[in-house]
Amino acid sequence: MLLPQNPHLPISALAGIFNNTTATYKFYWFVALMDIVVKERKTRISFWEIIAGMVAESWYPIHYFKLSFGKSDSLFSNSLEIQKEFQIPIDSDKKKIKNQLLDNIDSTKKFLRVFSLNVPYRFLSPWIKYTYDEDVVAKSQRFENGCLYAIYGNEIVINEAWVDYLKENYTILRDFAFWNLTEFLQKRNPNVPNVPSKLIKPILRESLTMQHKFWDTYIESVGHMSCIYTGKPIVAKNYDLDHFVPWSFVSHNLLWNLIPADSSINSSKSNNIPPLDIYLKPFSMLQQNALKVMYEKNQNNAIFEDYLIVYDSVSDLVHLSETEFYEVFRKTFSPMVQIAENMGFKIWRP
């Protein structure tokens, strides 16, 4: 990914900030730093404010989506400790997380201090070859090689020459950071679907209108159905759509992972995985029945394309026996659930 050029700035150095990266620190340091410069219009910034921003920016991929950052990444492990210590909700807003950390800075420094030791100095490596901290500090204060910022104690001062560039190209530079972060995390989460969408908190989830219409029509066609979790009757247009494997893992609303459920289930099941030995069979049977009924009504319904992920022909899938259909779903869900468990998703125990 090429960065916008500027004849007065060493853009090649900026483009190299993520070279030879072995942890996520530099990605989140840069994004948090830019947010403060561009959104808060500050050029003198404490280490702690940037580090709190790092924790806040990485909160969703760590706690909600449970991505692995690698075994040696302190941002991941310290964020888990912070969540335990302060009981911050896993889906909390980024600004609230940052403010809570800064408002309790005396208590949070024990978790954040590790990031103040190396990151501010080694981040400048593309401009200033790292020898030892004091040398980097002295050279940064001369803005050697046009480096991005100078270090003074536990603060940085942005090089005035970079301020307009950061503001004018904020979106591109943020995309540059997340593009590199995606490549970094994809290698550490090779079997996890849709890693790019799990780097930030979604502003708005996709509508489930088509999926509700599908299940409403099915329920009205068969006259009745029961929740596979509670056994309670399900009435058309009066139910919740449940992601069998949590949305926070699959990051999609494809029909083969959705079923109507009693309204009490979403709060109870939450972000957890249903035990397959109990629920996969009834889930599979309900999916097969719905698919057969709805396919007979309209074979050209575009929503059937959702099932091409689990089987290469919808018409063939419809005509499978109950045992064969279940086997298709077992082969689809078993490895998914195993990966999710390995990432830290819990098994739901109703």
3-state SS string for the chain? CCCCCCCCCCHHHHHCCCCCCCCCHHHHHHHHHHHHHHHCCCCEEEHHHHHHHHHHHHHHHHHHCCCCCCCCCHHHHHHHHHHHHHCCCCCCCHHHHHHHHHHCHHHHHHHHCHHHHCHHHHCCCCCCCCCCHHHHHHHHHCCHHHCCEEEECCEEEECHHHHHHHHHCHHHHHHHHHHHHHHHHHHHCCCCCCHHHHCCCCCCCCCCHHHHHHHHHHHHHHCCCECCCCCCECECCECEEEECCCHHHHCCCCHHHEEEECCCHHHHHCCCECCHHHHHHHHHHHHHHHHHHHHHHCCCCHHHHHHHHCCCCHHHHHCCCHHHHHHHHHHHHHHHHHHHHHHCCCECCC
| Pair (43, 185) in one structural domain | yes
**14-68: pLDDT as tens digits:** 999 999 898 999 999 999 999 999 999 999 999 999 999 999 999 999 999 999 9
Across residues 193-207, what is the average pLDDT?
Answer: 81
Residues 35 and 21 sit within 8 Å (Cβ to Cβ): no
Range 314-322 contact pairs with CB under 8 angstroms and sequence separation of 24 or more: 317/291, 318/291, 318/292, 320/288, 322/285, 322/288
| Pair (219, 123) in one structural domain | no
Residues 306 and 251 sit within 8 Å (Cβ to Cβ): no
> Cα(54)–Cα(33) distance, rounded to whole angstroms?
9
Last residue of a domain, one of 198, 228, 257: 198
Residue 325 domain flag = yes
**86-131: pLDDT as tens digits:** 999 988 889 999 999 999 999 999 999 999 999 999 999 999 999 9
| Pair (86, 178) in one structural domain | yes
Residue 1 has pLDDT above 90, yes or no: no
| Pair (213, 262) in one structural domain | yes
| Pair (240, 178) in one structural domain | no
Residue 343 has pLDDT above 70, yes or no: yes
Number of domains in the chain: 2
User: pLDDT grade, residue 193 (50/70/90)?
Assistant: confident
Residue 252 domain flag = yes
Q: Which domain holds residue 261?
A: 209-343
| Pair (96, 156) in one structural domain | yes
| Pair (163, 46) in one structural domain | yes
pLDDT of residue 18: 95
pLDDT of residue 111: 94
> Cα(101)–Cα(113) distance, rounded to whole angstroms?
13
| Pair (281, 172) in one structural domain | no
Last residue of a domain, one of 133, 163, 198: 198
pLDDT of residue 45: 98
User: pLDDT grade, residue 204 (50/70/90)?
Assistant: low
CA distances from 182 to 78, 122, 199 (A): 21, 21, 8
**215-273: pLDDT as tens digits:** 999 999 999 899 999 999 999 999 999 999 999 899 899 999 999 999 888 888 988 99
Residue 117 domain flag = yes
Residues 192 and 67 sit within 8 Å (Cβ to Cβ): yes
Residues 46 and 17 sit within 8 Å (Cβ to Cβ): no
pTM across the whole model: 0.80
Residue 333 has pLDDT above 80, yes or no: yes
> 343: closest CA among 242, 251, 233?
251
Beta strand 149-152 with 240-243 is unpaired
Residues 49 and 40 sit within 8 Å (Cβ to Cβ): no
> Cα(171)–Cα(6) distance, rounded to whole angstroms?
16
Whether the CA torsion 193, 195, 196, 201 is positive or negative: it is: positive
Residue 205 has pLDDT above 90, yes or no: no
Last residue of a domain, one of 169, 198, 227: 198
Residue 209 has pLDDT above 80, yes or no: yes
| Pair (46, 166) in one structural domain | yes
| Pair (172, 48) in one structural domain | yes
pLDDT of residue 344: 86
Beta strand 149-152 with 155-158 is antiparallel
User: pLDDT grade, residue 203 (50/70/90)?
Assistant: low
Residue 3 domain flag = no
| Pair (68, 168) in one structural domain | yes
Residue 188 domain flag = yes
Residue 349 domain flag = no
**271-321: pLDDT as tens digits:** 899 999 999 999 999 999 999 999 999 999 999 999 998 999 999 999 999
Residue 191 domain flag = yes
| Pair (66, 30) in one structural domain | yes
Lookup: tokens for 188:
């550490």
Residue 6 domain flag = no
